[in-house]
Amino acid sequence: MGVQSISKKKGLGAEATADATGVIDAVIYGRASKDRLRLMRSIGDQIADCRTWCEPLGWRVVDVITDANRSASQWRRKEREGFEEALGLIESGRIQGFVTWEPSRAGRDLAIYVQLRAACQRFGVLYLTQGRVYDFSRPDDSFMMGFEFLRAEADANTMRERQLRTARRNAEKGRPHGRLAYGYRRVYDERTGVLVRQEPDPHTGQIVRDAARDVLAGASMWSVAMRLQDAGEPTPMRPWSEHPRGWDTYTIRHLLQNPTIAGKRVYRGQVIGDAAWEPLISWEDFQKLQRLFADPGRRVRGGGGMPAKTLMVHIARCHYCGRPLKRAVMRRKNKADAVKYHCQFRGCYKTTISQPGLDAYVQEVALAWFERPANLARLTATDGDGDGWLDHAHAVEEELASLQQRLDEAADRYAAGDLPVSMLSRIEQQLRPKIEQAQRALVPPISDENIRALVSAGDVRAAWAELALAEQRKIVKAVFDVRVQRTANRGQNAFEPERVLVAPRV
């Protein structure tokens, strides 16, 4: 197809020329699959060639749009904002030419070609690629370009198969593959650039070891995160991230849940065997960490952000709906303010109790329980089979989620007026014992060194008094389940200890 006859080709509508001179307004689109640092080197070369092709045709480049570090295959994980913008320009009728360095830059998915062809046909837009102009209104051009996109899709499929095969073989051999795990570094051959080994990084590897040791010793993940944040340590975020989130509890937890740090090879989310690199922590310690993370009783609100002001807020639960009680200050005219714990879950609102009374009562029950020698043996018992407990915990978590969902749905129907209170009570009576049984089954062996130190102290009460409120809250929630029943004496503000049910979780 000659360049002189481009503007006169059969099938071009009035939209194909920008003005009476026949000048075509065009947009250039460039894309690179791997450009993590967004240096645009490859994309810059594409755009330079495209401009060279436009000049002898008399095409006027009105816009240049790029997508850096974006795949165009059917397995892409990120949207291509630039390509969507280019399609929008085509469909606006303001341009008459679309330019890419080669068809694969526009897409490696046949569905993308169908979308592009339809837009160009509808608005009479020409496609310039590899130095040639294609008119999608011509059957031969449409067929040839469809073949090019089909070949680009086949190339993407072949590359994916090779990558999956390489990843599988590396996994079977315990070799590293993909993103480098925090705490390690990779050594490459200086001459060939081939990966030689993966080994612990002297600095970040020690950070992982220290974090695991401190969390196992009873330190909160928030305190570990704030220590690293105050020290100015870079986070395990991608170096090209423009907005790193900084160190927080999520970062520490994500770091310590990666089996890589225990010398295990993970493939498709499953541990498949030992890795070829040195572990940062032992497999036994890694299992202890996972048991600690899996225990819902150890997740105490108030560890980060706004600290908790009282002992039992978000720890004591409503006996009827199972939701944590919240703290509220009741303003009273001509009287001192009353601080209460109460249930705020819609469809319930059944429980309100004095905050000072509940805190003092639970603290006394807990200290009396810690002082009994028989309970000391229960808290300091050795851990059981870690792998077996984790498998059991996953199954129990699924059962617990299902039971809780059924109870929530019943409460929502009651709140909406679709379920009578008698039926809601019957459902609660059937599901609540099953939920409590599942919650007890999720309790792992105690591994918190602060709890062991407390119950082993010569004077338990003195040791308790020296603990910060945040540590006291962690211990209470880890060891006890506290439920509050509703009062039978409405209108009275006196604390009623018989309403409080305190049961050891171990």
Q: Are strands 132-134 and 184-188 parallel, antiparallel or unpaired?
A: unpaired
pLDDT tens string for the chain (506 positions)?
Answer: 344 333 333 333 334 444 545 789 999 999 988 755 455 568 889 999 999 999 999 999 999 999 988 888 887 878 889 999 999 999 998 999 999 999 999 999 889 999 999 999 999 999 999 999 999 999 999 999 999 999 988 888 888 888 778 777 776 676 777 788 899 998 988 888 888 888 999 999 999 999 999 988 878 888 898 899 888 888 886 544 444 567 888 889 999 999 999 988 877 777 777 888 899 999 989 988 888 887 655 555 444 446 788 999 989 998 888 888 988 887 777 777 788 898 887 667 778 899 999 999 999 999 998 888 777 666 655 555 555 555 666 677 778 888 888 888 888 888 888 888 888 888 888 888 888 777 666 555 555 667 777 777 778 899 899 988 988 888 888 888 899 998 877 656 678 899 999 988 76
Question: Partners of 338 in the beta sheet?
Answer: 330
Cβ–Cβ < 8 Å for 233, 211: no
CA distance 255 to 180: 12
The three-state secondary structure class of 95 is: coil
In this predicted structure, what is the pLDDT of residue 196? 85
Give yes or no for a contact between 59 and 97, defined as CB atoms under 8 angstroms apart. Answer: yes
- Per-residue confidence (pLDDT) for residue 14, from 0 to 100: 35
Q: Would the CATH topology of 3-157 be identical to that of 184-286?
A: no
Bridge-partner residues for 200, per DSSP? 184
The pair phi, psi for residue 222, each rounded to 5°, is -65, -45
Question: Is the CB of residue 118 less than 8 Å from the CB of residue 98?
Answer: no
Token pair of 471 as six digits = 């540590």
CA–CA dist 500, 365 (Å, integer): 11
Q: Which CATH number fits domain 3-157: 3.40.50.970, 3.40.50.1390, 3.30.365.10, 3.40.50.720?
A: 3.40.50.1390
260 forms bridges with which residues in the sheet? none
Q: Are 312 and 359 in contact (CB under 8 A)?
A: yes
Nearest Cα to Cα of residue 467 among 371, 397, 367: 367
Q: What is the pLDDT of residue 505?
A: 77
State the burial class of residue 30 (Cβ atoms within 10 Å of its Cβ: 0-12, 13-18, 19+): buried
Q: How would you class 383 by CB atoms within 10 Å of its CB: exposed for 0-12, middle for 13-18, buried for 19 or more?
A: middle
Collapse the DSSP code of 71 into the 3-class scheme (helix H, G, I; strand E, B; otherwise coil) and give the result: coil
Phi, psi dihedral angles at 310 (to 5 degrees): -135, 165
> What does the chain come to in residues?
506
Asked if 197 contacts 186 with a C-beta cutoff of 8 angstroms, the reply is yes
Q: What residue spans define the domains of the chain?
A: 3-157, 184-286, 317-504
Residue 413's pLDDT is 84
CA neighbours closer than 13 Å in the CB half-sphere of residue 67 = 20
First vs last C-alpha separation in the chain: 81
Closest by CA position to 89, among listed 65, 112, 72, 55: 65
Is residue 474 within 8 Å of 333, Cβ to Cβ? no
Tokens of 384: 């059981």
Query: Distance (Å, rounded) from C-alpha 274 to C-alpha 285?
Result: 16
Query: What SS3 state is found at 137?
Result: coil
- Residues 381, 452 contacting (CB under 8 angstroms): no
Please name which of 62, 60, 63, 50 lies closest in space to residue 132, comparing C-alpha atoms.
50
Q: Is the pTM of this model over 0.75?
A: no
- The span from the CA of 189 to the CA of 137, in Å, is 53
Cα atoms found within 13 Å of the Cα of residue 49, Cβ hemisphere only: 16
Domain 184-286 fold:
Hect, E3 ligase catalytic domain fold (3.90.1750)
pLDDT for the residue 434: 83
What the block records as the tokens of 135 is 């008119």
